[in-house]
Chains A and B, each alone.
Chain A
């Protein structure tokens, strides 16, 4: 179990910063900019929410295994695949939160910052980001928990190779298959704890914002 735990933590170490950067950028883009293909991009980001993980995994298999350039990278069934896989189902959660967060920032505040001498980047870092921060952190907590618990997509493109791609959720699956329920339970309790913690964190963010009662 220890090697699976370490692997899961490694996956998180890669995914959390990626979720924050990509999710925040996409959320800001969807909330604040109008461009051609915005609807298509929106659809693409949120497709993983409605697709079964096996379907998503199959598409990713084809993408990484068939496309000439992608194939050369040799990502499939290795740690990079295990790290990338959870991004797809968890990114929509982060984007949704970030988009709501940035949409909640009054455009007038950003305009005020501009008249006070700020360029677009400064407006983002001094006004939009700090005000939307609670939404971003809440989204990140939920998305990270989702990424940690990813099973289907990881199984499809990274496989279930102990020590290489077997993350905690896959470990549980293998333990149950081997009828080692005690081992499965240990890992399950760990994951449940993380899930509850992230929900509590989200509640705190919302509570401090004066949001949901």
Chain B
């Protein structure tokens, strides 16, 4: 595939070092890694809001930045759209005016209206951002970033604050917009589901170092799993064997077992991944959700790390070191200091088998699919309708 973006740069921020090497064709790339790994900062450097100390950034053959030649184009000349984590919609402008903001043509309001139509917000064009719901604001932000026709679209965990169904719908929408505009997209996330459902290519970032990238299909390739997932140093990896007992599928390892959500189409030795935020702590005196009953493990808190807004626990249980992540303030009534015994559980559907599962991305373990069915018009149909006008 033709290379659109080629970036290699180094950025020092105090003691933090951001070392990035990435190339992207006409595809959706996802930067995947834990909080604080430098994901957002990478996007800021690409967009020109922050200057690299060394290296270069090239987009469609244009040099956007080259530290050795002291070139650094300002953001306005880069033609890179950025959807911020906090969206940053202009509060003094309506949805329509927000979308029209980056348009310079004489019929900018008409063009903006078309974009609003594309994200299904025609009716709400004269609303101000505070009068819109979370999902609607996301759509306005997307349309605003895409309207000027950028050469590259960057998204910084834009759907983070949204719950499952809306999030899934927006992911679909984004993919639809990509198919329509063919604008390469880089999407930053720490959610394995985002990677699975959106990306063509995954970039792994850890402690400021982004060097590995693999096509998403080979994410499940046995040859990749060891090195890549280990280098991420995030989440819990389980090496075990798939077994079928009493009609249920289990991953069994030396020290414990967890139930998997059927259908399980692999057998034998596998490696499974559990993201830290999918491990839920259980209150000692409350009944356990029947869905989780088979997957309760008990262990001892080995370490407690507070990172920005989240807390990460390292828990030793069943011969493994588990990572558990939750928002600061959750489980406030529980004693979670080091050495404390805790019970936790993993939903069967949140255990990702990292071994050549046929078409793994169609599995949607953690969210409902009902919302999907409720979507009235598929994106392609909307496009035809628009072209028909």
Q: Which A residues form the contact surface with B (CB < 8 A)?
A: 106, 108-109, 111-119, 126-127, 130-131
Between A and B, 30 residue pairs with Cβ closer than 8 Å are: A108-B84, A108-B86, A108-B88, A109-B88, A109-B90, A109-B91, A111-B75, A111-B88, A112-B84, A112-B89, A113-B101, A114-B48, A114-B49, A114-B74, A115-B47, A115-B48, A115-B49, A115-B75, A115-B80, A115-B82, A115-B145, A116-B144, A116-B145, A117-B102, A117-B148, A119-B74, A119-B76, A131-B90, A131-B91, A131-B92
Quick check: is B70 within 8 A (CB to CB) of the other chain?
A: no
Q: In the assembled complex, which residues on chain A have CB atoms less than 8 Å from the CB atom of B47?
A: 115
Q: In the assembled complex, which residues on chain B have CB atoms less than 8 Å from the CB atom of A127?
A: 90
- Distance in angstroms between the alpha carbons of A127 and B97 in the assembled complex: 12
- CB contacts under 8 Å to A, within B63-101, are 74-76, 78, 80-82, 84, 86, 88-92, 101
- Distance in angstroms between the alpha carbons of A126 and B104 in the assembled complex: 13
Q: In the assembled complex, which residues on chain B have CB atoms less than 8 Å from the CB atom of A113?
A: 90, 101
The proximity string for B residues 116-144 relative to A, scoring 1 for CB distances below 8 Å and 0 otherwise, is 00000000000000000000000000001
Question: Taking the nearest CB of chain B, how far is it from the CB of A6, in angstroms?
Answer: 38
Does A117 lie within 8 Å of B84, measured CB to CB?
Answer: no
Question: Taking the nearest CB of chain A, how far is it from the CB of B80, in angstroms?
Answer: 7
Interface-central residue, A109, A115, A118, A119, by most chain B CB under 10 Å: A115
Does A130 lie within 8 Å of B92, measured CB to CB?
Answer: yes
- Distance in angstroms between the alpha carbons of A112 and B47 in the assembled complex: 10
In the A-B complex, the 7 residue pairs with the closest CB atoms = A116-B102, A114-B75, A112-B88, A108-B88, A115-B82, A117-B76, A115-B75
Nearest A residue to B44 via CB reads A111
The proximity string for B residues 315-347 relative to A, scoring 1 for CB distances below 8 Å and 0 otherwise, is 000000000000000000000000000000000
- Distance in angstroms between the alpha carbons of A142 and B142 in the assembled complex: 41
Interface residues on B, range: 20 to 34
Nearest A residue to B102 via CB reads A116
Question: Taking the nearest CB of chain B, how far is it from the CB of A52, in angstroms?
Answer: 41
Seed contacts A115-B78, A117-B104; 11 additional CB < 8 Å A-B pairs: A106-B86, A106-B88, A111-B88, A114-B75, A114-B76, A115-B49, A115-B80, A116-B102, A117-B148, A127-B90, A131-B92
Q: In the assembled complex, which residues on chain A have CB atoms less than 8 Å from the CB atom of B80?
A: 115
Q: In the assembled complex, which residues on chain A have CB atoms less than 8 Å from the CB atom of B76?
A: 114-119
Main secondary structure of the interface of B (DSSP, over half): loop
Q: In the assembled complex, which residues on chain A have CB atoms less than 8 Å from the CB atom of B74?
A: 114, 119
Q: Which B residues form the contact surface with A (CB < 8 A)?
A: 47-49, 74-76, 78, 80-82, 84, 86, 88-92, 101-102, 104, 144-145, 148
Question: Taking the nearest CB of chain A, how far is it from the CB of B81, in angstroms?
Answer: 7
Number of A-B pairs whose CB atoms are under 8 Å?
55
Nearest A residue to B85 via CB reads A108
Q: In the assembled complex, which residues on chain B have CB atoms less than 8 Å from the CB atom of A108?
A: 84, 86, 88
Nearest A residue to B82 via CB reads A115
Nearest B residue to A116 via CB reads B102
Q: In the assembled complex, which residues on chain A have CB atoms less than 8 Å from the CB atom of B102?
A: 116-117
Q: In the assembled complex, which residues on chain A have CB atoms less than 8 Å from the CB atom of B90?
A: 109, 112-113, 127, 131
Interface-central residue, B89, B91, B144, by most chain A CB under 10 Å: B91
Does A112 lie within 8 Å of B82, measured CB to CB?
Answer: yes
Q: In the assembled complex, which residues on chain A have CB atoms less than 8 Å from the CB atom of B48?
A: 114-115
- Distance in angstroms between the alpha carbons of A118 and B77 in the assembled complex: 9
Nearest A residue to B154 via CB reads A115
Interface-central residue, A111, A127, A131, by most chain B CB under 10 Å: A111
Q: In the assembled complex, which residues on chain A have CB atoms less than 8 Å from the CB atom of B84?
A: 108, 111-112
Question: Taking the nearest CB of chain A, how far is it from the CB of B149, in angstroms?
Answer: 11
Q: In the assembled complex, which residues on chain A have CB atoms less than 8 Å from the CB atom of B82?
A: 111-112, 115
Nearest B residue to A118 via CB reads B76
Nearest A residue to B147 via CB reads A116
Interface-central residue, A106, A111, A112, A113, by most chain B CB under 10 Å: A112
Does A116 lie within 8 Å of B92, measured CB to CB?
Answer: no
Nearest A residue to B47 via CB reads A115
Q: In the assembled complex, which residues on chain B have CB atoms less than 8 Å from the CB atom of A114?
A: 48-49, 74-76
- Distance in angstroms between the alpha carbons of A117 and B80 in the assembled complex: 9
Q: In the assembled complex, which residues on chain A have CB atoms less than 8 Å from the CB atom of B88?
A: 106, 108-109, 111-112
Q: In the assembled complex, which residues on chain A have CB atoms less than 8 Å from the CB atom of B49?
A: 111, 114-115
Does B91 lie within 8 Å of A116, measured CB to CB?
Answer: no
- Distance in angstroms between the alpha carbons of A106 and B76 in the assembled complex: 19
Does A116 lie within 8 Å of B101, measured CB to CB?
Answer: yes
- Distance in angstroms between the alpha carbons of A109 and B74 in the assembled complex: 16
Question: Taking the nearest CB of chain B, how far is it from the CB of A115, in angstroms?
Answer: 5
- Distance in angstroms between the alpha carbons of A109 and B104 in the assembled complex: 19
Question: Taking the nearest CB of chain A, how far is it from the CB of B267, in angstroms?
Answer: 49
- Distance in angstroms between the alpha carbons of A127 and B91 in the assembled complex: 9
Nearest A residue to B104 via CB reads A117
Interface-central residue, A114, A116, A119, by most chain B CB under 10 Å: A116
- Distance in angstroms between the alpha carbons of A150 and B371 in the assembled complex: 66
- Distance in angstroms between the alpha carbons of A166 and B81 in the assembled complex: 59
Question: Taking the nearest CB of chain A, how far is it from the CB of B102, in angstroms?
Answer: 3
Nearest A residue to B80 via CB reads A115
Does A115 lie within 8 Å of B86, measured CB to CB?
Answer: no
- Distance in angstroms between the alpha carbons of A163 and B91 in the assembled complex: 49
- Distance in angstroms between the alpha carbons of A147 and B72 in the assembled complex: 46
